[in-house]
Structure 1
Amino acid sequence: MEEYQITPAALDAYEQAVGRKVAWVYFSNDWFASRAFPLATAQWIRSRNAVPFIRLMLRSSSETYVAEPLYSLEAILRGDFDSDLKAWGQAAKAFGTPVLVEWGTEVNGQWFSWNGRWNGGPTLGPQRFRDTYRHIVQTIKSVGADNLTWVWHVDAYDDPEAEWNRLENYYPGHDVVDWIGVSVYGAQEPAENNTQTFADGMNSVMPRLARLAPDKPVVVAEFAVTAGNPRVNAVQWAEAALSGILSNQWPQLRGFAWWNEAFDTTEMRVQVIPGLKEVFRQKLASPQVLDRPL
């Protein structure tokens, strides 16, 4: 199943497992499937009293670690897709209620085609990303889509770990960013040699974000760990992560979303991993957790 194929049944399974309603539902709008605003999905999310959180994914496929042949940053900056972006913005405006939206997910990770590696390298890549982010936001805003909250989304770790690829180099400017999103994963595959905790990632990235944009709210747009990795206990990893989130040790943090998915040998679903739903039910019962964005 592709990332845009989210279903009400999947949301039901998560909410029943954790015993709480969600504030937003996060999903991809993959342009290899459709360039249109995902109205039907946004409507059923709204009907559940949640906010659509759309990953605007201008890409030709879900393949990673490859250059983008069609929706390259140069092509976007040239205006090749301005009509599509304006139509998307008009449909988002007509939707009428709040929408969270991001473009350039995890830009400091070379797995996605908008990373600098694929767009001119160390010299040109980060600048092209910044210019493209601004172009997309300004083009969509130009049609009056003022019900959108724009999220700039990075990974907790720069990959490659090089000076030119530091997340700070991709920041497009305070005027086009409303929220900052961050991904903080543990091991994502059973055979992966990764023992990083959630706190490891947060303690690495949050001071950098505070220096970069101290007035912007931060949300953990994605966090999770797989079951079945002998080096990491998924239940303990998640319990420590949720405890850290609720402890207010990162004051800029305002929201979080577990990546509740399974693929290949990876299993991250709360409702499937033994013992995990009990941890979520306990932690999410806290009065600090709200089921609506402020």
Structure 2
Amino acid sequence: MKRLSLFVALIALVSTVSPSVAQSATPLRVWVSPATFSPDGDGYRDRTTIVYNVPRNARVYIYVYKGATYVRRLVWGRYATAGNYYRTSWNGGTGSGLRVPNGTYGLRVVARFGPGLRYTLKYQGTIGVAAKNVASTGRWVGFYVPGAPFSTAPLTSLESKVSSQARVVHYFHSSQDNFDSAAASNAIQEGAIPMATMEFWRPGSGVGQPAYRLSRIAAGDFDSYLRRYADDAKAFGKTIWLRPLHEMNGNWYPWAGTVNGNSPSHFISAWRHIKQVFASRGATNVKFVWCPNAESVPNTYANGIARYWPGEAYVDYVALDGYNFGTSASWSRWRSFAQIFGPAYSTITKLTPKSIIIAETGCSPRGGDKAAWIDGMFGSIHFKYRRIRGVVWFNENKETDWRVDSSSATAGMFRLVSAVY
């Protein structure tokens, strides 16, 4: 105990404690050592120890937090007897195991006692994290934000909220829209790569649009549009990521492999044709992003992800889309990042050695802890799905509130873990 130091807390009882109890109560005492530690794995001060002593038999709860975001729950309802000393420790990790960025974190210790645990003692202090030689993983984040990159204001506003600079800015256009050099320039000026999703349909007219079936694309019926787009993109000169025919293994777009007379073989022909048109125009600055949905609908062998693979020579980047709808829909339930993306990740890593991008993802606030889901996503990528090199968050209140800043807690968690995953 002599080596433990700092932060002896003399905290008053909260208003729920009666005067007679308050007058006789001994304060909750807490020691933290070291007050600043360096969780860098060198064996020296890799964790901090919290020792606490309660004046009455109590249930104890200990949290680490940053602003409005709970970073880690260290103790939850542990029974402690009066006068005894108890200890726990923190290794600088979040709930998923990611090491937090250097900085100052809040420590909260709560002891509840009495009938129905109605009385409370609290301690609040700080812990410093100062790891040395923290190496970058090279992973990045990007965003889809309504209005960007046609305007930079929505993007820079979100970047400011989550203290994360987008490396990719995602936007959508239909096959009636030409290449938008101003939008692409805006993204690049903000330090991001523009990723354009090219959708062959009339937006708002639903899936039943056979005029946009895959066989027509493969036959060259849209070549005048594709040539014009390729020429404009080539003239632009900077790198552009193009994502045509995305989520082809779903059943909600006219180009999906199970609607309008389409099939996976039709998809492969259409994809290769689009790629060949761009190659014939010399638009080598346009990089093609092949992106199935993480889960096939319908979920059959004939509609499986592997059936849509066009071949290594026709793909520059491999991506996946997937969302946690939580309980926001009648057919959905709360699911982890691993439950959504794990099977598709396994399939794709057998198809190709290329790195993987999450081109669209988001989490509903309904049905679970969204901040913890965000932590779990980045932790899963860091520890398990290591071929994933970047995540593009879909930041819109649409089918449900996907926005990463739907609450201060979710924005805070994203800010915390996106910097270190």
**Alignment length (residue pairs):** 275
Please identify the structure whose Cα radius of gyration is greater. Answer: 2
Contact 2:200–2:212, Cα closer than 8 Å, also in 1: yes
Q: Which residue does the alignment assign to 1:224?
A: 362
Counterpart among 95, 116, 122 of residue 236 in structure 2: 95
Cα 1:149–1:194 shift into 2, 3 Å: same
- Higher share in strand: 2
- Higher share in helix: 1
Give the Cα–Cα distance (whole angstroms) in 2 for the partners of residues 189 and 195 of structure 1: 6
Aligned-pair CA distance for 1:103: 0.8
Residue correspondence of structure 1 range 159-178 to structure 2 within 5 A:
159-178=297-316
Counterpart residue type for residue 41 of structure 1: A
Look up the SS of the partner of 1:146 in the other structure: coil
Give the Cα–Cα distance (whole angstroms) in 2 for the partners of residues 62 and 4 of structure 1: 17
- CA deviation digits over 1:191-219, x for unaligned, max 9? 44322210112221111111111x21111
Give the Cα–Cα distance (whole angstroms) in 2 for the partners of residues 27 and 118 of structure 1: 25
Moved over 4 A (4+): 2-5
Counterpart residue type for residue 250 of structure 1: Y
Counterpart among 219, 233, 252 of residue 111 in structure 1: 252
Give the Cα–Cα distance (whole angstroms) in 2 for the partners of residues 61 and 20 of structure 1: 31
Contact 1:3–1:28, Cα closer than 8 Å, also in 2: no
Residue correspondence of structure 1 range 46-57 to structure 2 within 5 A:
46-57=188-199
Give the Cα–Cα distance (whole angstroms) in 1 for the partners of residues 296 and 318 of structure 2: 16
Give the Cα–Cα distance (whole angstroms) in 2 for the partners of residues 23 and 212 of structure 1: 26
Cα 1:113–1:5 shift into 2, 3 Å: farther
Cα 1:114–1:37 shift into 2, 3 Å: same
- CA deviation digits over 1:230-283, x for unaligned, max 9? x22222211211221233x1222111111111125x111122323111101111
Look up the SS of the partner of 1:67 in the other structure: coil
Q: Does 1:74 align with 2:203?
A: no
For structure 1, which runs of at least 5 residues remain unmatched after alignment? 289-294
Q: Which residue does the alignment assign to 1:291?
A: none
Q: Which residue does the alignment assign to 1:269?
A: 403
Aligned-pair CA distance for 1:189: 6.5
Q: Does 1:60 align with 2:194?
A: no
Cα 1:25–1:137 shift into 2, 3 Å: same
Aligned-pair CA distance for 1:28: 0.6
Give the Cα–Cα distance (whole angstroms) in 1 for the partners of residues 327 and 188 of structure 2: 33
Give the Cα–Cα distance (whole angstroms) in 2 for the partners of residues 165 and 81 of structure 1: 25
Counterpart among 273, 295, 298 of residue 135 in structure 1: 273
Residue correspondence of structure 1 range 1-294 to structure 2 within 5 A:
5-6=147-148, 7-32=151-176, 34=177, 36-64=178-206, 66-120=207-261, 125-187=263-325, 190-192=328-330, 193-213=332-352, 215-227=353-365, 229=366, 231-247=367-383, 249-263=384-398, 266-286=400-420
By relative contact order (CA 8 Å, sep 6+), the higher-ranking structure is 1
